[in-house]
Amino acid sequence: MPRIAPKLLWLGLLTPTLFGFDFASKRAVVQQLGPRDVVPVLDGWLAFVHAENPGAMFSMPLPLPLIAVAGVVVLWVLLRMMRALPDAARLPALALALLASGAAGNLADRLGDGTVTDFIQVSAAGSAAAPWLVDRFGTATWPIFNLADIWLVVGVAMLAVMPRSWMERAPAAAPA
């Protein structure tokens, strides 16, 4: 029986699983919460809020066709990167699977109705750090996000701290 490369296991198992979690969470929010409804989770720190984002990341106002084409190009580039990885490159494959899950999740949501459903709100507005945050960033509340956004941030962070040598093909063996 042929052995499946670890990088393909990450892509084939993790990507659809994370995509499914993202899709299911967004559908649950749409079905259970009205627009701008707030469900506190951790008093003053974390809440679920139903928000629809018609723009790109951080609500940048870009036309839907441009965002859709960019999403497809990103997925194509990620698949090409995955293909170029050595078969045993587990951590880079994990990072690329996270990125593919997040990109596909937000792209699918956007293609459905032109917006992305966001619902996770993190805030430090009631904390001692609030004045410092407002002074430095203008707010103590992070923009509302979703699970796909988490997958994207974690994937990018992993690639940013990963040694470049982990992304390269192993050198060809010298002839004996």
Catalytic residue among 22, 113, 118, 135: 118
Q: Which residues contact 92 (CB under 8 A, 6 or more apart)?
A: 7, 85, 159, 162, 166, 167
Active-site residue, 43 included: no
For 54, phi then psi, to 5°, come to -80, -10
Catalytic residue among 22, 37, 113, 149: 149
Cα-trace Rg, the chain: 19
- Tally the residues of the chain: 176
H helix or E strand, kind and range, residue 166? none
Of 111, 123, 96, 97, give the one whose Cα is nearest residue 21.
97
Active-site residue, 22 included: no
Which of the residues are catalytic? 118, 149
